[in-house]
């Protein structure tokens, strides 16, 4: 009977596999888990409500979407492109490496740059694309590569450096989970253990960006020939 409590996980896996409505799948999985765990309807509704209130900050990023659309409509993307076109020596790798460094340093102080939608899409990717196309006309495939590489750099800087801030949600979650399992782990130990990973991701990411830069240059030279 204990295994039936895991039915909620199976519902989520099946629902996502068949691409059913995400909200409906999650709610059904939560209800199934609650009922099979012996919770009463009032207790289940109370738990769902408390979980929503405790995690309501996660959905606040939706409020920034209209603002991002507004600033793009008013020319933010074009301003970024024009600025990069004036700086002839600025290459895609230099922009990406600088952003990767800024992303990781910001995480050390718990500063969020808002990520893909709010920062990369309207600013970083247009700058990378403009730098890559300074001496050649980019193909559609190359433009898509600049988008993918910009997104990848943001993921590297955020994912592997998010545990560098002692009060970040991930660090607190790891510490509380380890302590609940009987392991005496404090937040500073987690941060200290995360530093080598952040450094490795920074170095590897920068090397990959340089190779990405050379790939564009080689293709441009062949096209000119």
202, 142: one domain: yes
Query: d(Cα 203, Cα 116) in Å, to the nearest integer?
Result: 21
pLDDT in tens, 70-120: 555 666 556 655 655 565 577 889 889 989 998 998 888 877 776 777 778
113, 174: one domain: yes
Q: What is the pLDDT of residue 133?
A: 82
Q: How many domains is the chain partitioned into structurally?
A: 2
Does residue 65 register a pLDDT over 70? no
pLDDT classification of 9: cutoffs 50, 70, 90: confident
Which residue is it, tokens 């130990």?
A: 189
Q: For residues 219 and 168, which has the higher predicted lDDT (pLDDT)?
A: 168
211, 115: one domain: yes
Query: d(Cα 87, Cα 62) in Å, to the nearest integer?
Result: 34
48, 72: one domain: no
Query: d(Cα 50, Cα 28) in Å, to the nearest integer?
Result: 17
Averaged pLDDT score across all residues of the chain: 79
Range of the domain at 108: 61-224
Taking a C-beta distance cutoff of 8 angstroms, is the pair 11, 29 a contact? Answer: yes
Q: pTM of the predicted model, to two decimals?
A: 0.62
179, 211: one domain: yes
88, 8: one domain: no
Q: What is the pLDDT of residue 56?
A: 53
Q: For residues 110 and 183, which has the higher predicted lDDT (pLDDT)?
A: 183
Q: What is the pLDDT of residue 77?
A: 58
Quickly count: other Cβ atoms within 10 Å of residue 218's Cβ.
10
Give the three-state DSSP class for 97: helix
Does residue 223 register a pLDDT over 70? no
Does residue 203 register a pLDDT over 60? yes
Query: d(Cα 152, Cα 8) in Å, to the nearest integer?
Result: 32
122, 186: one domain: yes
- Element holding 33 (H helix, E strand): helix 22-36
20, 84: one domain: no
84, 47: one domain: no
Does residue 50 register a pLDDT over 90? no
Tokens standing for 221? 């030279």
Q: What is the pLDDT of residue 97?
A: 93
Asked which of 17, 35, 54 is the last residue of a domain, the reply is 54
Which residue is it, tokens 């441009």?
A: 220
Which residue is it, tokens 């509380």?
A: 176
Which residue is it, tokens 């896996």?
A: 13
65, 119: one domain: yes
pLDDT in tens, 127-180: 888 888 877 788 888 889 899 999 999 999 988 998 898 878 788 888 888 888
20, 66: one domain: no
71, 36: one domain: no
Q: What is the pLDDT of residue 196?
A: 94
Instruction: Give the whole-number percent of the chain exceeding pLDDT 70.
Output: 76
């Amino acid at each position: 009977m204990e295994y039936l409590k895991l039915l909620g996980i199976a519902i989520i896996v099946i629902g996502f596999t068949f691409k059913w409505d995400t909200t409906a799948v999650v709610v059904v999985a939560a209800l199934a888990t609650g009922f099979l765990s012996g919770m009463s309807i009032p207790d289940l509704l109370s738990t769902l409500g408390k979980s929503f209130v405790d995690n309501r900050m996660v959905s606040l990023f939706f409020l920034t979407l209209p603002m991002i659309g507004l600033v793009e409509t008013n020319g933010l993307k074009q301003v970024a492109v024009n600025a990069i076109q004036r700086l002839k020596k600025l290459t895609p790798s230099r922009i990406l490496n600088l952003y990767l460094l800024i992303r990781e340093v910001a995480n050390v102080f718990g500063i969020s740059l808002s990520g893909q939608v709010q920062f990369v899409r309207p600013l970083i990717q247009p700058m990378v694309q403009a730098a890559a196309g300074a001496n050649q006309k980019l193909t559609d495939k190359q433009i898509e590569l600049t988008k993918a590489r910009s997104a990848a750099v943001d993921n590297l800087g955020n994912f592997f450096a998010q545990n560098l801030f002692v009060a970040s949600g991930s660090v607190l979650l790891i510490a509380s989970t380890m302590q609940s399992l009987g392991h005496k782990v404090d937040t500073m130990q987690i941060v200290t253990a995360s530093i080598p990973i952040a450094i490795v991701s920074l170095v590897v990411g920068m090397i990959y960006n340089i190779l990405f830069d050379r790939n564009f240059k080689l293709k441009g030279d062949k096209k000119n020939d």
